[in-house]
Structure formats: C-alpha cells, structure tokens
Amino acid sequence: MRKLLITALLFVTTLMYAAPKYGGVLVFGRSGDSVAIDPAHVTDGESFYASTQVYNTLVQFKNGTTIMEPGLATSWDVSKDGLEYTFHLRKGVYFHPTKYYKKRNEFTADDVLFSIKRQFDKTHPYNKIGGSYKYWGAMDMDKIVKDVIKIDKYTVKITLKKPEAPFLSNMAMDFASILSNTYAMDLLKEGKSDRLARYPVGTGPFVLVKWVKDDKMIFTANENYWDGKPYIKKLILKVITNSSVRAAELKVGSIHVMDFPNPEEIAGLEANPDIKLVKQEGLNVGYLALDQVKFAPFKDVRVRRAINYAINKEAIVKAIYAGFGKPAYTPIPPTMWSYNANVKKYKYNPEKAKQLLKEAGYPKLSFELWAMPVARPYMPNARKVAEAMQADLAKVGVTTKIVSYDWGTYLDKGRHYKDDSCLLGWTGDNGDPDNFLNVLLTSNAAKIPASNRAGWKNPEFDALIAKAKTTTDIKERTKLYMKAQEIFADQVPWVTIANSLVVEPIRKSVMNFKLDPMGKRRFNKVWFDK
Amino acid sequence: MFSYIVKRLLWTIPTLFGVTLLVFSMVHLTPGDPAAAILGDKANKQSIADLRAQMGLDKPLYEQYFIYIKNLSHGDFGKSANSNEEVMSEFKDRFPATVELSMVAMFFAVFLGIGAGIISAVKRYSIFDYGSMFGALAGVSMPVFWLGLVLIYFFSVKLGWLPVSGRLGYEFDIDHITGFYLIDSLLAKDYEAFWDALKHLILPAIALGTIPMAIIARMTRSSMIEVMKEEYIKTARAKGCSRFQVIFIHALRNAMMPVVTIIGLMLGSLFAGAILTETTFSWPGIGKWLVNAVYQRDFPVIQSTTLIIAIIFIIVNFIVDLLYAFINPKIRLG
C-alpha cells in the first residue's frame, strides 16, 4: 500500500514538475546558531534545525503535515490498557560514519534504550552528562514513562505509568531522537562524552561535516538514507542575524531559503522575479492572558467578555501581522485535528463592551498591559499589538499602561502572577491538542510557576482534558477537545489574537520545499530546478 | 623602566579583582532568573530548580563569588550554562574573528585617518580640508548598523561587487591554524580563499573603522595645526628642510602624541562597535556571542568574557604607555 502511494505520488509530482534532479548545494539562511546538536538537551528551534538533519525518531510526522508515519519504527502496537507500547524497529539501518567517527554501526534496540533511558534513569552513565534533559522535564515524561525494555534486537517495549494518549506524539518530537549507543559508549571510554552534543552521529538524511560556531554548519547527503538519498548534495545552515541582511543574501542568490523575514520586507521579496514565498499556518497561537490571580476584576466573566468585545483583533492582525496571520478564536490552531471552527466569536463591538463593563460594576477600569520584548511568529511585534489594544480599550473607558521587561524577567514574573495581563503565545511541540489545552489552561498548570498565565480554573474543562488524555480513540478525543474549546470560548480567560502564517521566502529554483507545522526545516526531498 | 613595568603589572591585580566583583554583582543583581531564561517558556518548576542547582545558583551569593574566584585562580573560566561547553574553548573559537576584523578596521582607520588629517592640516581651508572634515563629522554621527546596511545595499545588492555577510564563502574550507582566515589561507597557499576572505572583510571593516577614522582624522588635523605653529618648525624651514622633511619628520612625529593616545583608547570602542558590526554582517566573533549571552543570562559566559576583555584592555593600555616612551624620548617612565 505504502509503495503504491509513493508511486502514485511520484507520478503526480512528475506530471506537475519535471523529474527531481540530483545535485547542488542548498544554503539555508537562519537567524541564529544552534546551542548544541544533542536534541535531548536543548529547547531552542535553531538547535532542532540542526538535529533534525542528522537524527531520526521512532515515529515521525509526514513532511508538511501533522499525520503520524513510521520513522525508525516500522510499526507499533498499543496494549488494551494503554500502558504498553511495542515498537518494531526498521532493519538494515546504519548510523553514518563521519569525519570524526569512522565506524558504521547498525541501528538496534540498544540505541533506543540508550536514547530514552539516559533521560530518566539516574544510574545511566549519560544521565549526568551534558546538563539537564530539558524537554523530558518540560513534557513531564517522568510522570509518563515507567521503563524501556529490549524484547529482541529489533523490538522495544516502552511501559507507561498511566494511560497517556499524547505519548506517541511525544515520541515524534526531537528530544526523542535516536542516538547511537555504540558511539556514545566509545566516547565514554575515551573520556570524551562531552563531544556527543557537538559531533553527532545519526541515521538521518544528512551527515555533519563541519560546524563553525555562529557562522555555518556544513552537511553532506547521506547516500544510504533509508528513506531515499537526498536530492541535494550539500546542505549549509548559515547564520545571518539581521533579517534585512538575510533578505539581501536571498536577493543576490547566496542563500536559497530564508528564515523569519521581516513582515515589512515580504512585499519587496515577493516582487523579485527570482523569489517565491512558501506559506503555511503555524502551529501556534498568540494571546492576551487576563491574569485573574493578580487583577481581581478579571474573575468576573462579564469583564473578560467585555475586553474581548472591545479589542478589534481583525484590525490588529491585518495591520501588525501584515496579513501574515489569521485572527484566532480558540486556543488551538486550525491546522490541528479537533479544531472547533464553530465556537462563539467575539466580533468587535465597543458598545456591548461598555454595557458589559457597566453591568459588572466597572465602568472605569485600569490595568497593566504587558508586552513581550521579543518577536515570535505568533507575535511579530508585541509592542505594536499592545498599543493598538490600548487605543481600543480606551474607547470603552479602560485605561492601560504598557509594561515590558527583558525576556527572562518577563517570563519569570508572569509565571508568578506579577502581571495584570500579558501578551504571550505558544508553539505546539507534538501536534497534539493536549499540548495546548492542558499546558496552558488547566488548573494543574496554574500552580506557580504557572504556564496557565490567566490563572483560570474550570472543573468542567479540567475533566474533559483529563479524560481526553487517557483515551486512545482519536474520534472520542476529538469530541472532548471540541467541547473544551466551547467552554473556553464561553469563559474567555484570554483574548486569543492570532495564529501566524509562517512565510518562508525561497529562490524559485528550489523545488518541493515544504514547511513543517512542527517548525522543523527538512531538506531531504528538496531539489534544484536549473 | 623595569621597576615601572613591575609596578604597572602589580597594579593590574586589584584592577582585575575590581572587574570580577563589579561584573559579578551586575550580573547577579539584575532581576530575572537565568535558569528560566535558558529553559524558555516551556520550562517547569522541576527543570528550573535542577538547572539552578547545576549552575550553583541555589547557594548564597558570597559563596558563589568565592567559588568563581577559586575556579578562576585555577584557570577555570567555567562552562557556558547554555551550551555546556568550556567558556575558554568557546572564546578561543570566536576571538580570532573579532581580532581579525578589528585589526583590519584599525588599519583602515589609522591610514586613512592620519592621511586625511595631515592633508587637511597642510592644505587648510581648501576644498579637501572642508570635504574631509565634513566626511569625518558624518562618519562620527552615523550609527554603525545603519552604515552597514547602506554599504550592503550599494556594494552587494546593487553593484554585486562584494559578498553580503559572513567571513568566508561556503565553497572554501580552510584549516583552523591561527584562526585568522587571511593568515590561514596564505599558510594553506589557497589564494582564492585569501581573496574571498579579504572581500568579506572590506565592508565590515569600513563600517567598523569609520568612527575611529573620523576621530583620528580630526585629531591629527588639529594636532598638526598646533605643531606647525611651533618655533622649531620655523627653524626647520629656515635651515632649508624640504616641505616633506618639515611635515613628516619635524611636525608629524610631535603631532602623533595625542593621536596615539586616541588610537589606544579607540581599540576599546572598536570592541564595542564590533558588537554591532558583527551582528549586522553575521561575523562569527565574540561581540555577537556576548550579546546572545546577555540575552540568555548565561552568567559564566558574561563574567568570564568580560574579564578576558578587561585583561586585553589592560595589556593594550600598557603597550600604549610604552609606545609613548618610544615616540617621545622626553618622557621617561618611572
């Protein structure tokens, strides 16, 4: 079936374009360097850009979608109680030899054990090496995973402490990438275990040749890649901090794909005959959290609804996102399964806002409006968003003071409910609605340091999310999440603002480049048409 | 002379202590939790606590400071909290890039600055004088990042003469011997790489060197004008020295005193300017790295890099002081 699909796909592609050609060097201009290439230790997107090229996960998302497909595991079984996941591993896959490690080791169950166990088993030789396992902690994996057991050379069983439906999606995340056990043990013997984070040996489509810090990474194609040899011969990730300079590089053709363009420069790039834009809705949401722990009037749902009516988000998105964002009405983005398009929408209505505020006994209201100091895809310019909101709110008798701090302080104070309201956002990790609704809105997440920035607690909402987490049937889960979004829209603990539209300007000669909803940049199916 | 050098060297010890204390307090007293900043928005309580413990932030401040000083005395500059690599090795990776850029920028600034200053002073109130002094004023007033973008727009995008950013084209791969690409490429006898590295240097060096050049030009001009009024210049002229001899032997050497001071101080501002230039031109040096470290609140990197830069400053100032004696034998150190 899979083969048939691939053949059909290839046929269609051939009809649409000329046949893919091999060869060429692709330069990807990005805004910052990776911190390290060990995906279990890092949390920044720039590091994952690099690790994605080198490593694979057991299960993965189909290129450009949130649909799960086999990765290094060809198939998997889940026990009836949802507590045991058995993965059947792909045979005949080898870790690629590199300039710094010549051995060619076969991928087996031991590598899966190494990659997962080091993150939680305190007795594992790599548990204390390379700092903390940040994503493992962030995804609460300690509370989910009980053990990893080798059944035979090509079969691994992972047992869970509780039924947890999003677990499979977690295994497709970068932190669950599979590293070579033999390589790691060889490094340990030589006393060079620190090198694991800088000199990766993986099973992925590309092989790292050289990393010049803050400058570039050079990769060559993995000729024996299990999912087909990449079309391009070489891949270069080049750090170009300034976005105007990145745009200049793209115009002169010294880079082929450009990350994070300035919204103001998009039109100029689109007008260039050698450049085209690739667009996709981002797996993210930008919002204004109404902190009801610090600012008591937000405990009243009428006040929250009034704020929602008072803010003209359609106008804000149009003006500040420069058209590269869509107004958001629920906490999860439209690209995600279980998105509910029919929830209550608060269309701009200042009269209604005034009336609701009067009813609630707050005809005049004054609070701090916190604006993020950094740009994110879901919030390209928080300051401007805050200013627009300030103007809108003033029209209904609400005065606001715009406050900002450096990013670390901003996050820290927000986690401790030191703000009245704050602009923030979230980018999905694993393509699962639980990753938005549970992390950002349940009572559990309102414990300090809180990720539920509104401090909103709703038992009915909590119950739905908890139930969806332990149900493996995707249809049932979809129903529960749809209902949870209705409660959210009725209670509006936030003003949802926008889902970004990710725009990647690329040279016209670059074919088959797809944006990934998870924010990865994959190049193994990309080719040059010259 | 010898006792002077020893005295100067001994003085650096309390200075360096002061620097460590100042940087340590500045870094630790500013609000915000570095562990939270490093882990980002996805962190939870446990992971923040773990990282704080790993960074030693759970200990009292004075204890943290003593541990820091103790490690320093062993030559241990600590590990970057962010990348978990030795600060010293990360510094060594990037420092040559900054030095190479600063040296070329300084070379550009000194030659053009002194040259323009001399001509302006000799041909006072000429078109050249007005033109170059106006240029110098404009040069001092221009923000470095803006000048950088303008240079890129004209010379790279419109004219296509020079590369937009970076240090070397990706098609070249030269071995890291000294870390200076100009030297490494020559050592490897790869002249194409040398040419490419040079081309990559031109725009950032102009952007970085413009402010020092403008200041040096103005300083040279005024200093030369002063010196040209001196009696000994008259004497030199009276005894029949050629114009060249008067300007370059009798006047310039005396006029150089304040200029050398300025150049010494300028090396400091060059590092500051390097931060902006490196960001604009994606130059992989310490400027950009330090800015990132500040954003990330990477304590070990900020502390140790500032200390290393302070040491370099002290050395540069020391050399400048010694240069005085060389230029002007009237100054006897001691």
Cβ contact (<8 Å) for A449 and B157?
A: no
Is B288 in contact with A214 (CB distance < 8 Å)?
yes
Cβ contact (<8 Å) for B166 and A44?
A: no
Residue A309 has pLDDT above 90, yes or no: yes
Residues of B in contact with A411 (CB under 8 A): 36-37, 40-41
DSSP H or E segment with residue A84: strand A84-89
Cβ contact (<8 Å) for A132 and B44?
A: no
Domain edges within chain B? 87-333
B93, B167, B279: residue with CB nearest A242: B279
| Residue among B134, B258, B156 at smallest CA distance from B206 | B156
Instruction: Report phi then psi at A511, rounded to 5.
Output: -110, 150
Q: Which of B51, B146, B165, B291 is the mutation pick for testing A, counting most A CBs within 10 A?
A: B165
Percent share of chain A, pLDDT over 90: 70
- Domains, chain A, in order of start with CATH, read 25-238+509-528 (3.90.76.10), 284-502 (3.10.105.10)
CA R_g for chain B: 24
A215, A406, A408: residue with CB nearest B166: A215
In tens, the pLDDT along B115-171 reads 999 888 888 888 888 888 888 888 888 888 889 999 999 999 999 899 999 888 888
Residues of A in contact with B32 (CB under 8 A): 405-406, 408-409, 412
Cβ contact (<8 Å) for B39 and A218?
A: no
B54–A contact, CB cutoff 8 A: yes
How far is residue A386 from each of residues A263, A492, A503, measured CA to CA in Å?
18, 18, 23
Residue A2: CB atoms within 10 A of its CB come to: 9
Q: Which of B26, B42, B57, B147 is the mutation pick for testing A, counting most A CBs within 10 A?
A: B42
In tens, the pLDDT along B55-75 reads 778 888 888 888 888 888 888
- The Cα A524–Cα A222 span in angstroms is 9
Cβ contact (<8 Å) for B166 and A240?
A: yes
B235–A contact, CB cutoff 8 A: no
CA atoms within 13 A on the CB side of A238: 31
Is A481 in contact with A338 (CB distance < 8 Å)?
yes
Nearest CA to CA, how far is B50 from chain A (Å)? 7
Q: Write down the pTM of the prediction.
A: 0.80
In tens, the pLDDT along A387-446 reads 999 999 999 999 999 999 887 788 889 989 999 999 999 988 788 899 899 989 999 889
Cβ contact (<8 Å) for B280 and A35?
A: no
Cβ contact (<8 Å) for B152 and A245?
A: yes
| Burial of A526: CB neighbours in 10 Å, binned 0-12, 13-18, 19+ | buried
How far is residue A374 from each of residues A113, A379, A404, A499, B267, measured CA to CA in Å?
38, 8, 10, 17, 32
Residue A12 has pLDDT above 60, yes or no: no
Nearest CA to CA, how far is A362 from chain B (Å)? 33
- The Cα B185–Cα B17 span in angstroms is 39
Residues of B in contact with A242 (CB under 8 A): 145, 149, 165, 279-280, 282
Query: In this predicted structure, what is the pLDDT of residue A473?
Result: 80
In tens, the pLDDT along B271-311 reads 777 888 998 898 988 888 888 888 777 888 888 888 888 88
Average pLDDT, chain B: 84
Q: What is the token pair recorded at A310?
A: 């008072």
Nearest CA to CA, how far is A216 from chain B (Å)? 8
| Three state DSSP letters for A157-172 | EEEECCCCCCHHHHCC
Question: Nearest chain A Cα to B148, which residue?
Answer: A245
Q: Are strands A234-239 and A25-30 parallel, antiparallel or unpaired?
A: parallel
B42, B46, B50: residue with CB nearest A43: B42
Residues of B in contact with A424 (CB under 8 A): 41
With cut-offs at 50, 70 and 90, classify the pLDDT of residue B40: low
Cβ contact (<8 Å) for A132 and B51?
A: yes
Question: Nearest chain A Cα to B95, which residue?
Answer: A213
| pLDDT, average across residues A234-247 | 92
Alpha carbon A270 to its chain's center: 26
> With a cut of 0.90, is the ipTM above it?
no
Question: Nearest chain B Cα to A216, which residue?
Answer: B170
Question: Nearest chain A Cα to B80, which residue?
Answer: A35
Residue B242 has pLDDT above 60, yes or no: yes
Q: Report H helices in chain B.
A: 2-29, 34-39, 45-54, 61-73, 87-122, 127-141, 144-151, 181-187, 191-228, 231-238, 243-245, 252-280, 286-296, 299-327
Is A409 in contact with B32 (CB distance < 8 Å)?
yes
CA atoms within 13 A on the CB side of B8: 16
Cβ contact (<8 Å) for A411 and B93?
A: no
| Residue among A319, A330, A335 at smallest CA distance from A286 | A330
Residue A23 has pLDDT above 80, yes or no: yes
The dihedral over CA atoms of A318, A321, A326, A330, expressed in degrees to the nearest 10, equals -110
In tens, the pLDDT along A152-199 reads 999 999 999 998 888 998 999 999 999 999 999 999 999 999 899 999
Residues of B in contact with A375 (CB under 8 A): none
| Burial of A190: CB neighbours in 10 Å, binned 0-12, 13-18, 19+ | exposed
| Residue among A8, A224, A187 at smallest CA distance from A100 | A187
**Residue carrying the six token digits 């999912």:** A227
- Cβ-Cβ contacts under 8 Å for A255 (sequence gap 6 or more): A27, A28, A29, A238, A240, A246, A249
Q: What is the token pair recorded at A83?
A: 């507590």
Residues of A in contact with B54 (CB under 8 A): 131-132
Nearest CA to CA, how far is A411 from chain B (Å)? 7
Nearest CA to CA, how far is B249 from chain A (Å)? 46
Query: In this predicted structure, what is the pLDDT of residue A403?
Result: 94
Q: Report H helices in A422-520.
A: 434-441, 459-470, 474-491
Taken in order A334, A336, A342, A348, the sign of the CA dihedral is negative
Query: Chain B 303-322, CB below 8 Å of chain A: which residues?
Result: none
Q: What is the token pair recorded at B6?
A: 């020893």
Query: In this predicted structure, what is the pLDDT of residue A17?
Result: 53
Cβ-Cβ contacts under 8 Å between A and B: the total is 145
Q: Which of B26, B29, B44 is the mutation pick for testing A, counting most A CBs within 10 A?
A: B44
- SS3 at position A363: coil
In tens, the pLDDT along A36-52 reads 899 998 878 889 999 99
Is A448 in contact with A441 (CB distance < 8 Å)?
no
Query: Chain B 150-189, CB below 8 Å of chain A: which residues?
Result: 152-153, 156-157, 160, 163-167, 170-171, 173
| Burial of B328: CB neighbours in 10 Å, binned 0-12, 13-18, 19+ | middle
We find that the CATH architecture of domain B87-333 is Orthogonal Bundle (1.10)
With cut-offs at 50, 70 and 90, classify the pLDDT of residue A11: low
Question: Nearest chain B Cα to A235, which residue?
Answer: B170
Exposure string for A290-319, b = 16+ CB within 10 A, e = fewer: bbbbbbebbebebbbbbbbbbbbbeebbee
Residue A95 has pLDDT above 80, yes or no: yes
| Residue among B293, B294, B272 at smallest CA distance from B145 | B272
Query: In this predicted structure, what is the pLDDT of residue A285?
Result: 94
Direct distance between the N- and C-terminal alpha carbons of chain B, in angstroms, rounded to an integer:
6
Q: Which of A134, A140, A211 is the mutation pick for testing B, counting most B CBs within 10 A?
A: A134
Is B126 in contact with B233 (CB distance < 8 Å)?
no
